[in-house]
Structure 1
Amino acid sequence: MDSKKPDDLLKRPLYLYDLPQEVLSTLTLKEDTDAQNLETNNSSISLKPSHDASPSSSSENLVGSQACSLCSLSFANVQDQRSHQKSDWHHYNLKQKLRAQKPVSEAEFEKLIGDLDESLSGSESSNTEDDEDEANRSKESTLTALLKKQATLADRNRNDNKTGEEDEDGDEDGSTNKKQRAGGKPPLMWFTSPLLPTNTYFGVYRAIFTSEESRNGGEIVDIVKKKQLDPIPAPKPSPDGNLTPAAYKGPHIFLCMIGGGHFAAMVVSLAPRQTKHGSAGPMNREATVLAHKTFHRYTTRRKQGGSQSANDNAKGNAHSAGSSIRRYNEQALTDEVRLLLQDWKGLLDTSELLFIRATGATNRRTLFGPYEGQVLRANDPRIRGFPFSTRRATQNELMRSFIELTRLKVREIDPTKEAKAQQEPPAKTTPAKPSKPATPKLTEEEETALLHTTQLQAFIRRSKLPALLSYLKTNDLTPDFPFQPPSTQQNHHAPTPLHLAASLNSAPLVAGLLAKAGANPTIPNGEGKTPFELAGDRPTRDAFRVARGELGEDKWDWEAARVPPAMTRAEAEGRDARERAESERKEVERRKAEELRLQREGPKATGSGAAAGRSMMDGGKMRSAQEKREEEARGMTPEQRMKLDRERRARAAEERFKKMRAGGGG
């Protein structure tokens, strides 16, 4: 590779397996590379940008300020940092800090959660797929379950200590805690080079080396030199679509992620790809993928978190249609993954390293069994975890992880800021937030009025006259109770129960409020209209006129209420009967005329016209499925409609599952 200036070296990504000769010849392991200060002292860290040939990937090279000092992690971009800060692992380390205990590594945290079998919010979340369903998980998360378990164990240990009196001085507990809290080495190894500016270092992930290589710190530079690979031409696919056999002979690594019903796996060649000019090109979208596959099955309990098998183990088998589908999908996903691993057995056996993320007992059992024909072994020394925060299992996430693993990080330390940070603790500053108008605190009377308003309006909308009258009497409320707050558009238009009942064309409620509750029909709304003027159909208006006749002219100023002359209930019912009879007569005449027209024209009307004719001949009795659902849900509250919809979907899912089982059995 041609020699370049130091500044040029920092403007392009540095691939670990194809480093420039100038870097290899000057690379030296930093003496305190295993110290935590470089990883955790965020206040003194700034970044040296490393630019990629592709503008879209430039942000992925920023490492340093996007870091978590608590968990000793660095991130490629701000999005990864935010994702990590929402994870259960980060939240657990925050709890550890509050309890004056040391944070744990990601591998240690996965061991702690053990068989809880819940998906981590940070590693399983995504900003691009299924956000609504995955973002609304149950409050009973992995972190909550783990903390409860630890609290229970702590109580047991405390009781045992009180009984035995042997750990009173704390020595035994202290040694145990030290062993439990002992953190591993930092995820990054640091190297110096005279090519870099002052106080700037190269970082390489420790996971990319074998255990023996990482222990031989003095020889690690020679190991890096041995890992250099010659660029190879881009492999060409064979006629069957696969790569030529020569592409599979070089060194390669296996990457795999599984969680939340998502599975993604990839085998990537480590050899850099050669460009037309004879040099290796940029890694972004230039890596040679030897094999890749993704699966997704609906296995997680939406808005509740965790897999169906974990819920069954905790509470027993559920018998809903959704649980049966999730159990079926869990087994199907397990079969698909194991079949794929068997197909890739040759590639996996020859892989230099195996990077695997599988959190939870169910996911680990899918990969590591035991089962007949098992491919992966949990005790394989090549297995590594991802030493940084990861998102949902997708092919793009695997490629991002591969690039993050194999690139050199460039980090600059500002000694001035570091010394200042050591002398005085950093002041806690909170970002300025735009001032919001303070919400006025409601008095007890105002809160009670809001509660009454909600209850009364719910009774009126559901046409619950007995419940409405009982609520008014029980709470000693006037039938003209003014709805609160009056400033809303709804309460401005319908400020009293009688206004609202009239506007909803509820004749029985109008009659009951006037005759039984004694509501005042003369009260105007914010627009100056009386309840009668809000009535939109004849039965509701007749209810006002019948009330005027039954209550008498002296009861209210009916002229001020703008109610027409009184009428008896018999007159109202007689007019309704005459109108129904007239409507039926007209309908019979219309149907006869339609039959005559069809006889004259013959069977010409087809399709939608015929359907319309049949609907008209039946007097409009044929209704669509949507009309039937609307009729069934009429008069229900939003909660009742939601419950009805859930029951419909459950019945539909159960029918699909029955057909699925019948098809499988056949």
Structure 2
Amino acid sequence: MNIKLIFSIPDLIPLGNCNSSIKMDKKTDDLLRRPLYLYDLPADVLNSLSLKADAGQPTQPELQTATPPRPQTPSSVSNDSTAVGSQSCSLCTLAFVTVQEQRDHLKTDLHHYNLKQKVHGLKPVTEAEFEKLVDNLDESISGSESEDDEDDEDGSSRKDTTLAALLKQQAVLADRQRNPDNGDDEASKGQRSGTGKPPLLWFSSPKLPENTFYGIYRVLFTAEELDKEDAILEAVKQRQLSPISMPKPPKDGSPPSYNGRHVFLCMIGGGHFAAMVVSLAPKKSKHSAGPLNKEAVVLAHKTFHRYTTRRKQGGSQSVNDNSKGVAHSAGASLRRYNEQALVEDIRALLKDWKALIDTSDLLFIRATGTTNRRALFGPYDGQVLRANDPRIRGFPFSTRRATQNELMRSFIELTRLKVREIDPTAVQTLEATTVDTTKAKAQPKPAPPKLTEEEETALLHTTQIQALIRRSKLPALLSYLGTNDLTASFRFQPADTQQNHHAPTPLHLAASQNAAALIVGLLSKAAGADPTLTNAEGKTPFELAGDRATRDAFRVARSELGEEAFDWEAAKVPPALKREEAEKRAEREKKEKQAKEEARRKAEEERLKNEGPQIGATGTKGKSLGALTGSVTKTAQERREEEARGLTPEQRMRLDRERRARAAEERLRRLQGGA
């Protein structure tokens, strides 16, 4: 199979300080424009190459590469650009086709994770980097999942999510790095990332303008070849291959037998798998004699996709099971089945391609996470790939979803020479800046000021009192105040928080919570709360009351405590109201409400008796079928509302999950029955 490599080379645009007086002849300009394939270099270029003196040195900022930019899909943008627009996320650098896709993205763990990164002053991660973080979740994290925590059909979890597990793991690792003596040394070492070597080797040539170099990816060479400069240049010359013709595939559909040099490329992640075997020898195009048209000889290619990731939450089902326990929903069962089916499909394909894989020069594999690596490297009977194979390489650049087009794009990126202009002055400036930044990061952050014993005690009292008020525990609240010699006018600490700014005292908090039962108790002589105190906005507790019952509680307290107890006018409390009058009015309003509800029900029953329910299925003269037959048929919505009537919010959520699980099981049963 032939897949054309389309080379559309833009003009070389220098990003550093270049000498504009340099004039390039036509031949030099052609070298900058034409795409150079590593395994079929022109003789004049091949014989003029020499390794750059500081080839192993990072060279940023680097100039415009001669490799064309990779195409962008409607749902993603390059990591080097920033997505800006009405249907994009500048934080995650993603663009969307529809507004609904954008809204769905704002609910994903990737977006929430990047928000937390931004809050902590850290760099956001890409979709591929986040997928790698999720796949690398430590499988030793233990935990059980109750029925309430089971996944919905769409894979969402009500209480614990993959994002929460990821943040917990990172918090543990950060603690280990701060305190290496408190954790496993090997685990801590595994999280320390080294600087590594730059992915490109740079070669100079007299055919190129000043400060312009050719770049070749380091992963295309062996360790022995990288040891010596002469060995690298000799290896480039040995890699030159003559064009070939496409081998004919066997009639049985199996991969063709091929003795020439070729490479194996494979990507797996998120339920997507793609693999390809490509010959390194080029093939001249039959339709054009020009040097720019060449074709890659694809010996075999295959893609698989299975639904294995938890929608809206991210991560595979196996990672979720290992971190939180086995879920029992229909969606979880389907994802487990698909994970096993995907593994079997991949291993069967590798077995069919064993002859081509065993004779490949290099094996480029992207498989992050324990589950994906186990699918490729086993161990299992008849294993084809070995994790310790010296031919295995990773992709030294960012990759997207595993597809045939992405594999071909990666092959083009790997085997095409880069042409870049490097300004030595800019490199030196960058090195100095990098050293200064590293030193600044190495400086320890100042520790927060230690709280005094009085401040710690005030924080403890604040937490306990606020908890009792929110639970409307008046006896326990009065007991706590008396035991600790505190007044009901105690000021919450710290005062600069939003909650304590709005409700700085127990009486303010009780009024804002509409806890009418606590108002009279806090204003009593035993507690002694002062209703004239104001918050930072100048409002008294009465002004924070949100319903009539709470406001009446202040008026009842004014009646029972007397006018001389407090300055009620300063507290903005209306005239006193006797408890009996407040209770009578509350009882009267309750009866009026019940009477209105009873009248509404009787009117509805009378309407149903005369007209029947309006369900849309009418017979003659506009009467519904229920009225004609003498029976009342309820709609599905009415039945669901009747089932949920009287249930707590938690019980309604559980009932909703059960309905969706039954629906998913029914769909799965129908699919299995149809198969």
TM-score tier (shorter): 0.5 to 0.7
What CA deviation, in whole Å up to 9, does each residue of 1:61-96 have, x standing for no partner?
x9xxxxxxxxxxxxxxxx9xxxxxxxxxxxxxxxxx
Distance 1:479 1:269 in 2: 82
What CA deviation, in whole Å up to 9, does each residue of 1:286-312 have, x standing for no partner?
996952425466579999999958996
Q: CA deviation at 1:223?
A: 1.8
Q: CA deviation at 1:406?
A: 0.4
Q: Does 1:11 align with 2:39?
A: no
Residue number in structure 2 paired with 1:97: none
Contact 2:308–2:316 at 8 Å: present in 1 too? no
Q: CA deviation at 1:479?
A: 0.8
Q: Tell me the TM-score normalised to structure 2 length.
A: 0.58
Tell me the secondary structure at the aligned position of residue 239 of structure 2. helix
Q: Indicate how the Cα distance of structure 1 residues 399 and 213 shifts in structure 2: closer, same or farther if over 3 A, else same.
A: same
290, 298, 301: which is aligned to 1:279?
A: 290
374, 385, 392: which is aligned to 2:393?
A: 385
Tell me the secondary structure at the aligned position of residue 542 of structure 1. helix
Q: Indicate how the Cα distance of structure 1 residues 141 and 204 shifts in structure 2: closer, same or farther if over 3 A, else same.
A: same
Contact 1:275–1:281 at 8 Å: present in 2 too? no
Contact 2:304–2:342 at 8 Å: present in 1 too? no
253, 260, 275: which is aligned to 2:263?
A: 253
521, 530, 540: which is aligned to 1:520?
A: 530
Residue number in structure 2 paired with 1:51: 66
Residue number in structure 2 paired with 1:223: 238
Contact 1:200–1:412 at 8 Å: present in 2 too? yes
- Within-5 A mapping of 1:423-572: 428-430=435-437, 444=452, 449=458, 452-453=461-462, 455-483=464-492, 494-515=503-524, 517-525=527-535, 529-572=539-582
Q: CA deviation at 1:374?
A: 4.1
Residue number in structure 2 paired with 1:576: 586
Q: CA deviation at 1:430?
A: 3.5
Distance 1:50 1:152 in 2: 40
Unaligned runs of 5+ in 2: 1-6, 8-24, 81-92, 94-135, 141-160, 189-194, 441-445, 618-623, 627-631
Distance 1:231 1:504 in 2: 81
Tell me the secondary structure at the aligned position of residue 414 of structure 2. helix
Q: CA deviation at 1:469?
A: 3.0
Q: CA deviation at 1:248?
A: 9.3
Q: Indicate how the Cα distance of structure 1 residues 561 and 439 shifts in structure 2: closer, same or farther if over 3 A, else same.
A: farther
Paired letter, 1:514: L
What CA deviation, in whole Å up to 9, does each residue of 1:342-393 have, x standing for no partner?
4655764675542224467654442234434544456767x32126255566
Q: CA deviation at 1:221?
A: 4.9
What CA deviation, in whole Å up to 9, does each residue of 1:541-596 have, x standing for no partner?
33233333433444334455454554554444344333323332332223223333
What CA deviation, in whole Å up to 9, does each residue of 1:107-151 have, x standing for no partner?
xxxxxxx99989xxxxxxxxxxx9968974713569979x99984
Residue number in structure 1 paired with 2:208: 196
The range that moved more, 363-372 or 45-54, is: 45-54
Q: Indicate how the Cα distance of structure 1 residues 467 and 39 shifts in structure 2: closer, same or farther if over 3 A, else same.
A: farther
- Within-5 A mapping of 1:347-362: 348=357, 351-358=360-367
What CA deviation, in whole Å up to 9, does each residue of 1:255-309 have, x standing for no partner?
11346766443344543674964335489x9996952425466579999999958
Paired letter, 1:339: A
Contact 2:61–2:426 at 8 Å: present in 1 too? no
Q: Indicate how the Cα distance of structure 1 residues 536 and 115 shifts in structure 2: closer, same or farther if over 3 A, else same.
A: closer
Tell me the secondary structure at the aligned position of residue 30 of structure 2. helix
Contact 2:200–2:218 at 8 Å: present in 1 too? yes
Contact 2:492–2:500 at 8 Å: present in 1 too? yes
Tell me the secondary structure at the aligned position of residue 521 of structure 1. coil
1 or 2, which has the higher helix percentage?
1
Distance 2:137 2:493 in 1: 52
Distance 1:623 1:649 in 2: 11
Tell me the secondary structure at the aligned position of residue 522 of structure 2. helix
Paired letter, 2:478: L
Distance 1:655 1:390 in 2: 41
Residue number in structure 2 paired with 1:402: 411
Residue number in structure 1 paired with 2:16: none
Unaligned runs of 5+ in 1: 63-78, 80-113, 119-129, 155-182, 635-643
What CA deviation, in whole Å up to 9, does each residue of 1:485-540 have, x standing for no partner?
66777656544322332233221121322235232233355565543344333322
Q: CA deviation at 1:408?
A: 1.9
- Within-5 A mapping of 1:269-308: 270=280, 271=282, 274=285, 277-281=288-292, 291-295=301-305, 298=308, 308=318
What is the Cα-based RMSD across aligned positions, in Å? Answer: 6.4
Paired letter, 2:169: S
Q: Does 1:22 align with 2:30?
A: no
* Percent of residue pairs bearing the same amino acid type: 48
What CA deviation, in whole Å up to 9, does each residue of 1:436-472 have, x standing for no partner?
xx99979746676566545544443343434433443
| Residue-pair matches, total | 533
Distance 1:199 1:415 in 2: 8
Distance 1:7 1:633 in 2: 71
Distance 2:426 2:537 in 1: 67
Q: Indicate how the Cα distance of structure 1 residues 203 and 470 shifts in structure 2: closer, same or farther if over 3 A, else same.
A: same
Residue number in structure 1 paired with 2:192: none
